Amino acid sequence: MDKEAILEKISTAFTQVLEHSNFTLTDATTADDVDGWESITHMMIISEIETMFGIKFKLMDLMNMNNIGDLVRIIQSKI
Protein backbone atom coordinates (compact mmCIF):
# COMPACT_ATOMS: atom_id res chain seq x y z
CA MET A 1 0.00 0.00 0.00
CA ASP A 2 1.41 3.38 -0.92
CA LYS A 3 1.72 6.27 1.46
CA GLU A 4 -1.22 8.19 0.03
CA ALA A 5 -3.56 5.26 0.53
CA ILE A 6 -2.34 4.80 4.12
CA LEU A 7 -2.81 8.50 4.84
CA GLU A 8 -6.33 8.35 3.50
CA LYS A 9 -7.21 5.39 5.71
CA ILE A 10 -5.66 7.08 8.76
CA SER A 11 -7.71 10.21 8.06
CA THR A 12 -10.87 8.11 8.15
CA ALA A 13 -9.85 6.75 11.56
CA PHE A 14 -9.24 10.28 12.87
CA THR A 15 -12.59 11.51 11.55
CA GLN A 16 -14.43 8.58 13.12
CA VAL A 17 -12.91 9.09 16.56
CA LEU A 18 -12.74 12.90 16.66
CA GLU A 19 -16.12 13.38 14.96
CA HIS A 20 -14.79 16.15 12.71
CA SER A 21 -12.55 16.47 9.66
CA ASN A 22 -11.04 19.92 10.18
CA PHE A 23 -7.50 18.69 9.61
CA THR A 24 -5.06 17.76 6.88
CA LEU A 25 -2.65 15.02 7.81
CA THR A 26 0.93 15.37 6.59
CA ASP A 27 4.20 13.83 7.76
CA ALA A 28 4.81 16.72 10.13
CA THR A 29 1.36 16.78 11.76
CA THR A 30 1.42 16.28 15.55
CA ALA A 31 -1.25 16.08 18.27
CA ASP A 32 -0.84 19.83 18.70
CA ASP A 33 -2.18 20.52 15.20
CA VAL A 34 -5.42 18.55 15.40
CA ASP A 35 -8.32 19.67 17.55
CA GLY A 36 -9.31 16.97 20.05
CA TRP A 37 -6.28 14.71 19.49
CA GLU A 38 -5.09 14.09 23.03
CA SER A 39 -4.50 11.30 25.57
CA ILE A 40 -7.92 9.63 25.48
CA THR A 41 -8.64 10.00 21.77
CA HIS A 42 -5.08 8.93 20.89
CA MET A 43 -5.77 5.51 22.40
CA MET A 44 -9.03 5.25 20.45
CA ILE A 45 -7.39 6.33 17.17
CA ILE A 46 -4.62 3.76 17.67
CA SER A 47 -7.07 0.93 18.21
CA GLU A 48 -9.16 2.06 15.21
CA ILE A 49 -6.06 1.96 13.01
CA GLU A 50 -5.09 -1.46 14.36
CA THR A 51 -8.48 -2.84 13.36
CA MET A 52 -8.44 -1.15 9.92
CA PHE A 53 -5.04 -2.52 8.91
CA GLY A 54 -5.29 -5.77 10.90
CA ILE A 55 -2.06 -4.98 12.74
CA LYS A 56 -0.98 -4.65 16.37
CA PHE A 57 1.36 -1.90 17.56
CA LYS A 58 4.11 -2.55 20.09
CA LEU A 59 4.64 -0.18 23.00
CA MET A 60 8.10 0.53 21.58
CA ASP A 61 6.53 1.66 18.28
CA LEU A 62 4.08 3.95 20.05
CA MET A 63 6.54 5.59 22.43
CA ASN A 64 8.73 6.78 19.55
CA MET A 65 5.87 8.03 17.46
CA ASN A 66 6.02 11.82 17.37
CA ASN A 67 4.06 12.69 14.24
CA ILE A 68 1.96 11.29 11.41
CA GLY A 69 5.11 10.52 9.38
CA ASP A 70 6.28 8.16 12.14
CA LEU A 71 2.84 6.54 12.27
CA VAL A 72 2.83 5.91 8.50
CA ARG A 73 6.34 4.38 8.61
CA ILE A 74 5.33 2.03 11.42
CA ILE A 75 2.19 0.95 9.56
CA GLN A 76 4.24 0.35 6.36
CA SER A 77 6.64 -1.87 8.29
CA LYS A 78 3.76 -4.02 9.55
CA ILE A 79 1.62 -4.59 6.44
Runs of H (alpha helix) within the chain: 3-18, 39-53, 59-63, 68-78
Would you tell me how many other CB atoms lie within 10 Å of the CB of residue 12?
Answer: 14
Select 55 or 65, whichever has its Cβ closest to other proteins: 65
What is the closest distance, in whole angstroms, from the C-beta atom of residue 2 to other proteins in the complex? Answer: 27
Candidate ranges 3-11, 21-29, 62-70, 71-79; the one touching other proteins (CB under 8 A): 62-70
Closest among 68, 71, 77, 3 to 34, alpha carbons compared: 68
Binding pattern to other proteins, positions 15-54, x when CB under 8 A?
A: ---------------xxx-----xxx-xxx----------
